[in-house]
Structure 1
């Protein structure tokens, strides 16, 4: 099935981490250093926060305060009711690379992934950790040996699904009431984990570079394939039931809109920092799908 895609908004550097919240689509732009929100059709654009050390993952505490990952200083920031940003948690002692995407549960616990190595500097690939940040700002490492933990979702029955961009897989964990993770297992597998540590060689082994993702009401994941110029709909076990080719790089996606059936996609020609900083070719694409949003975010 082919689907029509439309450009809701463009002229950005590099968009990531789209979220549907308060009847608006929210997203981070890495290299204009801002968090934005807009109406479903891309109109009424607002700057929600300015994050000079590069915004990434977004989520909300139960009281409605925004959480945003600040990548380059490895902080999780919190926006107060007056709009000011303060430190919610310092992640710097827990990560080897930039913290990146995250998902926040109904109680305000944030699960944050990280690169594990200097991606833009071309360092050798290294495994990374997954952090849990509790509502009081306490930071705990809850999983390790992940190959670039990236987009994550929480299902309605308490399972955390983590896309491993360089790992050719989605990994699942059961989340206990106290936030610990157990019963680690492979939810979907697209190929073998990397055997090369050189970044260029490792990229040749990636079958699906699972980046940002979202869950639908049939417990399928829409996943942005960061090297495949597509989003794919994946079921437990790894079956791909649909592919939407975008004709450009796509790095994150989110179901939202008034009926939960608008698929928002963050697109750019590539993910290379120097190129994206010096151009305004990032856009937010949309497509309509049948099965609505579920889970978190």
Structure 2
């Protein structure tokens, strides 16, 4: 574990997720306050960017600057127009097995979206699911399958590789993005352990060595990954070596590099991911630490 100074940027939230650095500000979703926020690097100037009654998750920007974002429980991707109007970008209800979840938007305006695959909060058994590609016109195409809770995702700086965390799968997967927008066969980017032998969540979690959740790339090709069950963020090299670990002192469910020099690692922290507990409290924070290697890729 690296001994780095950790500071609090934002507090008093319910459950923050999907941090992104954009236009000189940190943006993030709050699941149970039902809004996407932005804030200055030092924590001042917090503002609501868009309210999302259906519960926000992953988001990004089209090449023309319009915001696109997930409405989890509606199983939709929405778009904010230049005049502030919020409109439907894509209805994915026919393609997902649970809440729509994290999403990365690439340089061509294609959204790469994962979903829960099952009813996590009700205690259902794990069901594998896939990744959807949503083209700029809203056309939706399944492009991957058999993933164990596809979660935080990034696109490499050259736009040719999609990297997807599988939270219950003990692994991070990678796909080549082909010229036609299809994905190559899944390959291991990092493996931390075997696939769980049980699909019951309570039995699978103890078998997870590292549960990769939200993540972000750095300019050396390493991935900072939030460990959803381990209370840590890890800098992982391709192949699986863990090069550095930061422990913020609580649960941590997403992370992203940003700041004016790209070296601030923002961490979405909360005591746990239980929907009932987090909805009833305002204990979530975004904490930050300065690291050595700056951000790269998308988001």
Shorter-chain TM-score bucket reads over 0.9
SS at match of 1:181: coil
CA distance in 2, matches of 1:224, 1:115: 17
Kindly state the Cα deviation for residue 183 of structure 1 after the two structures are TM-superposed.
4.0
Question: In the alignment, what sits opposite 1:217?
Answer: 219
CA distance in 1, matches of 2:127, 2:207: 15
CA distance in 2, matches of 1:170, 1:184: 10
Question: In the alignment, what sits opposite 1:185?
Answer: 187
Kindly state the Cα deviation for residue 187 of structure 1 after the two structures are TM-superposed.
0.6
Corresponding position: 1:59 with 2:36 = no
Unaligned runs of at least 5 residues, structure 2: none
Q: How does 1:64-143 map to 2 (within 5 A)?
A: 64-143=65-144
Match of 2:245 among 243, 246, 255: 243
Question: In the alignment, what sits opposite 2:45?
Answer: 44
Deviation per CA, 1:110-145, whole angstroms, max 9, x where unpaired? 000001000001001110111000000000000000
Q: How does 1:10-29 map to 2 (within 5 A)?
A: 10-29=11-30
Query: Please, what TM-score do these two structures have when normalized by structure 2?
Result: 0.98
Query: Please, what TM-score do these two structures have when normalized by structure 1?
Result: 0.99
Deviation per CA, 1:250-291, whole angstroms, max 9, x where unpaired? 000010000000000000000000000000001000000010
Match of 1:257 among 238, 256, 259: 259
Q: Alpha carbon RMSD of aligned pairs, Å?
A: 0.7
Kindly state the Cα deviation for residue 28 of structure 1 after the two structures are TM-superposed.
0.3
> Number of aligned pairs?
297
CA distance in 2, matches of 1:279, 1:291: 35
After superposing on structure 2, the runs of 4+ consecutive aligned residues of structure 1 that deviate more than 3 Å are: none
Kindly state the Cα deviation for residue 184 of structure 1 after the two structures are TM-superposed.
2.1
Question: In the alignment, what sits opposite 1:30?
Answer: 31
Corresponding position: 1:227 with 2:226 = no
Match of 2:207 among 205, 208, 221: 205
Unaligned runs of at least 5 residues, structure 1: none
